[in-house]
Amino acid sequence: MKKTIPLVMVAISILMVEVAHADYTFGTPENLGPPINSEAGAASPTISYDGLELYFSGTGEGGMADLWVSTRPTMSDPWGEPVNLGPTVNSAEWDSEASISADGLSLYFASQRLGGLGEMDIYVTTRPTKNDPWSEPVNLGPPINSAAWDDTPFISADGLELYFVSTKTVCYGESDIYVSTRPTKDDPWGEPVNLGPIVNSPGWEGCPNLSSDGRVLFIYGFAREGVVGPVDIWMATRPTKNDDWTECVKLSQEINSPAIDTNPCISSDGSVLYLQSQRPGGLGEFDIWQVSIDPVVDLNSDGMVDAADMCIVVDNWGTDNSLCDIGPMPWGDGTVDVQDLIVLAEHLFEEIPLAQ
Amino acid sequence: MKKTISLDSRKAGVLVLILTLFLIAEVVQADFIFGEPTNLGPTVNTASGEGGWGGLSISTDELSIYFDSDMSGGYGSSDLWVATRATTDDEWEQSVNLGSVVNSSSRDGSPCISADGLSLYFNSNRGGYGGVDLFVTTRETTADDWGAPSNLGSVVNSSGGDYMSHISVDGLSLYFSSTRPGGLGNRDLWVSTRATTDDDWGEPVNLGPTLNTSSNERRMWISSDGLMLLLQSDRPKGSGAVDIYMTTRATINDDWTEPVNIGSPVNVSVISDISPVVSSDGRTLYFSSYARIGNYGAWDLWQAPIIPIVDLNSDGIVNSADMCIIVDHWGTDDSLCDIGPMPWGDGVVDVQDLIILAEHLFEEFPPAR
């Protein structure tokens, strides 16, 4: 076995050039099934950072959207029966598009309830601990909310950035994504800033959802390329969370169906993308689906994760080679380091079916 | 011609790997070493004796070191002192006496700080159940002053000498040395346990003949994972004085094997090296040494790095060949590869060992003779 390693390594150096960008793949979308999905429909999922709470919008009393939550004791358990967040949080009007903070103590959402500044406003409800009930929601007020349509909030992992979509002072298109920041969680939100022309297009954008490392932003896009087609999920990337967005691409047709695909939500470890879709195979008008994001760990594509793959990581140590940059998130962290070895070790000795 | 040469060198590489496999069997216990000791310096050590009356103790954050000393400025005989530093990269600041609430005019020594930093165990001959007794002083928070010490009571303390305690990280086991009857001769190591930190200490149990001998076993230290134990003993086969001995085990369900003298460079011929204590990250041994070259006084506090052997194939460099050896032993308890998260490993070759190897990747090591 040892004898083969030098040979394998020579072969690898040739192969590497070809597969240099195949550092992660999306799996096949799976319907979450009952009890999350039902004939009543389920939409706009947001998953807690510990992966044990799934908030989503479903039909409430009177037929308007309400916020619901389903929980599971551990990651390997099935989701429990959904519970309506109740009259303290939900109104008689439209309540949807929730985003849960990393500590699980703040829930941002959009609502058309009476008393807002515009047709749709962003609200937040809080709780002292995860065992407490949610408080009476508070309108975030200006400069977040305006007389325009302010919708689909997303709170960043550090709690200092609030992304949302708005039709206020539109710069690039029909609706644009903005971000508002604050120096600490005790400070008020600053003036919203347009995310710029890589993310925003002449068409529609919405449902911003940022990975916990801040390097990947999922959004929905409609008519972004000037062509009216289905609503699809797009993915913007940047080298580090302090950089400008450098690229925004539409996810492949394995993820995006010919029907509406929207409300992307990435798990805190980057391994699962939740989305709302109208594709066939659902139980209601809208269903929640999930798709896995898997790092490509068989670096030399020999069908097995083993020491030869580790050698490739070591050969590229300290570089930004994307083939080897598979951790801690599937899209790496820009450096080949111990995080990549840890991911490789999780998959050690797994047999990987060879690509055709 | 060149091709032949390169092929030969590749063959040689394979041969080296094969040889390594044979060598592994020989060096199977050498998964970490103790590095060259260094003196803690003149803010801690004085012309008097530090750590001579039983030793020292290091806080979990490694920013406070407690020790006994008979330096001037105390309350008589030996007192308890503490030195602190802002970060582990800083030098120790000038040591401070723990004050008259804790210290007495009698011999107060051998401090041991609990993992939460709120209890300080020590021994004193200030009076109690006879000879030397174990005491504890506590504080509400690490910012508070220490309270008046209390005697650990007649279950722990005997009419003989009871000293040099070590409190386990969970606060439920108190190891100490005692001259009480029922041992293997002279001073032996004993352990008293309690169900919760609110319970009383139970009847002490002798640690048995693997750890104790007819010689004097005194202060011991056990790692938070329960897999590594150091003790101080003047048993024969040592360097001629009191030495530090070590034993490890793969799991906490295994029995201890006979402790081995940790030898040079920590134990030096004829001089006494006592009170072994290891930092919570397992990377530094602290101890006290008598009349050692480099001392400021009779007894001084020293430290020595604990270094995992990461150049597994001993080829002078940490690289992917070493990683291959780990992968070849994945899931086994091979101690050569079991170098993390603590230098003594955790009983299984896994990602913890890769992480340690990665910390040292591309480091060059001078070839062993």
3 state SS for chain A: CCCHHHHHHHHHHHHHHHCCCCCEEECCCEECCCCCCCCCCEEEEEECCCCCEEEEEEECHHHCEEEEEEECCCCCCCCCCCEECCCCCCCCCCEEEEEECCCCCEEEEEECCCCCCCCEEEEEEECCCCCCCCCCCEECCCCCCCCCEEEEEEECCCCCEEEEEECCCCCCCCEEEEEEECCCCCCCCCCCEECCCCCCCCCEEEEEEECCCCCEEEEEEECCCCCCCCCEEEEEECCCCCCCCCEEEECCCCCCCCCCEEEEEECCCCCEEEEEECCCCCCCCCEEEEEEEEECCCCCCCCECCHHHHHHHHHCCCCCCCCCCCCCCCCCCCCCCHHHHHHHHHCCCCECCCCC
User: Is B175 or B15 the better-scoring residue by pLDDT?
Assistant: B175
Q: Please, which residues bridge with residue B113 across strands? A: B120
Given a cut of 90, is residue B16 above it in pLDDT? no
pLDDT, tens digit (0-9, with 9 covering 90-100), for B21-35: 444 433 334 589 999
* 8 Å CB contact of A3 and B14: yes
Residues B164, B162: Cα–Cα separation, whole Å: 7
Quick check: B360 contacting A, CB < 8 Å?
A: no
What's the pLDDT at A226?
80
CA–CA distance, A98 with A151 (Å, rounded to integer): 10
- pLDDT per position as a tens digit, A224-261: 988 788 899 999 999 999 999 999 999 998 899 999 99
What pLDDT sits at residue B9?
Answer: 44
pLDDT reported for residue A291 = 97
Is the predicted pLDDT of residue A304 greater than 50, yes or no?
A: yes
Predicted confidence band of residue A5 (pLDDT cuts 50, 70, 90) = very low
B327 in A contact zone (CB under 8 Å): yes
> Contacts of residue A327 in chain B, CB cutoff 8 Å?
none
Phi first, then psi: what are they for A308, rounded to 5°? Answer: -65, -35
Q: In chain B, where does the domain assigned CATH 2.120.10.30 lie?
A: 33-307
pLDDT tens per residue, range B293-340: 999 999 999 999 999 999 999 999 999 999 999 999 999 999 899 999
Residue A3 pLDDT grade (very low, low, confident, very high; cuts 50, 70, 90): very low
pLDDT of residue A174: 81
This prediction has a pTM of 0.78
Does the CB of A341 have a partner CB in chain B at under 8 Å? yes
Report, as an integer, the average pLDDT of A333-340. 94
Q: What letter does residue B50 receive in the DSSP assignment?
A: B
pLDDT of residue A18: 41
The pLDDT value given to residue A170: 64
What average pLDDT is seen over chain A?
A: 91
| pLDDT tier at A9, thresholds 50, 70, 90 | very low
In chain B, CATH 1.10.1330.10 sits at 309-369
Cα distance between residue B225 and residue B338, in whole Å: 14
| Lowest-confidence region among A59-63, A275-279, B209-213 | A59-63
CATH superfamily of B309-369: Dockerin domain (1.10.1330.10)
Residue numbers in A near B319 (CB within 8 A): 314
Q: Give yes or no for B7 touching A (CB within 8 A).
A: no
Residue of chain B whose Cα is closest to the Cα of A3: B14
Verify whether the Cβ–Cβ distance A342 to B351 is below 8 Å.
yes
Residues of B in contact with A337 (CB under 8 A): 358
Instruction: Check whether B206 has a pLDDT greater than 80.
Output: yes
Distance of CA B102 to the CA centre of its chain: 25
* Mean predicted confidence (pLDDT) in A8-28: 59
Provide, as residue numbers in chain A, all residues whose Cβ is less than 8 Å from the Cβ of B14.
2-3
Domains and CATH numbers, chain A: 4-23+297-346 (no CATH), 26-295 (2.120.10.30)
Q: What is the pLDDT of residue B236?
A: 87
Nearest C-alpha of chain B: how many angstroms from A323? 17
Q: Which CATH architecture has domain B33-307?
A: 6 Propeller (2.120)
Report the candidate in A40, A65, A45 with the shortest Cα–Cα distance to residue A55.
Answer: A45
The kind and range of the H/E element at B273 are strand B273-278
pLDDT of residue A62: 78
Q: What is the mean pLDDT of residues A57-73?
A: 92
Which of A2, A317, A342 has the highest number of chain B CBs within 10 A, making it the mutation to test binding with B?
A2
Q: Is the pLDDT of residue A19 over 60?
A: no
Instruction: Give me chain B's average pLDDT, please.
Output: 90
pLDDT, tens only, A76-128: 999 999 999 999 999 999 999 999 999 999 999 999 999 999 989 999 999 99
Q: Which of residues 321-340 of A touch B (CB under 8 A)?
A: 337-338
Over range A309-326, report the average pLDDT.
94
Find the closest chain B residue to A6 by CA distance.
B10
pLDDT over threshold 90, residue A60: no
- Write phi, then psi, for B227 (nearest 5 degrees): -105, -10
Helix (H, G, I), strand (E, B) or coil at B5: helix
For the segment A304-325, the average pLDDT, to the nearest whole number, is: 94
Closest partner residue to A307 (CB to CB) among B323, B355, B362 is B323
Whether the CB of B354 is below 8 Å from some CB of chain A: the reply is yes
A121-126 sheet: strands from edge to edge: A95-100, A106-111, A121-126, A138-139
The pLDDT of residue A10 is above 50: no
C-beta atoms of B362 and A306 within 8 A: no
**What is the predicted pLDDT for the residue at B4?**
36
